[in-house]
Amino acid sequence: MEELELEEEVITAWVRLTGILKNTRLTKGMIYNEAVIMLLVNRRYNEDGEGLVSFKEIVSETKMLKSLVNRTIDSLVRKNLLERCEGESDRRTTFVRPVKENLPQYLEVHRRTLEMVKKILEIVGREDAAAFVRISKRISEICPE
């Protein structure tokens, strides 16, 4: 059998990695897409103490389809982890923010994810992990929406 060309190896590695991230239940207790959106909202909350994120920004950052983002937000609202709100400057824009008293529920899921990431860092090392982050950022900057 002939060796895969580099392009094929990149595709294969990408598919394996995304499968691992979605299927190893890194986000036990939450659906993967819920955890992705909560990660974004929680990061904003840690930055500004409010955590207000627009629907448009979630779509842009996660690269999820609008319909999937909407369904996932609906699920998080039903779980009382997020609440929808209008923007102060533009009432046509839909925003979400965390329900602050329920953030510990998400943070427990996030803590378990961080434990898994720490194990990965022990295996691959901080230098390779930093290179992975740097390369991932570059790829996300050039890939189409």
Q: For 5-31, how does the pLDDT look when each residue is reduced to its tens digit (9 = 90+)?
A: 888 887 888 788 777 766 656 666 788
Please tell me the predicted confidence (pLDDT) of residue 144.
Answer: 62
Q: How far is CA 33 from CA 8, 21, 22, 23, 87, in A?
A: 27, 11, 9, 12, 24
In this model, does residue 35 exceed pLDDT 70? Answer: yes
The answer to whether the CB of 59 falls within 8 A of the CB of 69 is yes
pLDDT computed for residue 127 by the predictor? 94
pLDDT tens for 78-132 read 999 999 997 666 667 789 999 999 999 999 888 888 888 898 899 999 999 899 8
CATH number of 30-142: 1.10.10.10
Q: How far, rounded to the nearest angstrom, does the alpha carbon of residue 128 sit from its chain's CA centroid?
A: 21
Structure tokens at 138: 């570059």
**pLDDT band for position 54 (cuts 50, 70, 90):** very high
pLDDT confidence of residue 122:
93
Domain assignments of the chain as residue spans, ordered by start: 30-142
Q: Has residue 76 got a pLDDT over 70?
A: yes
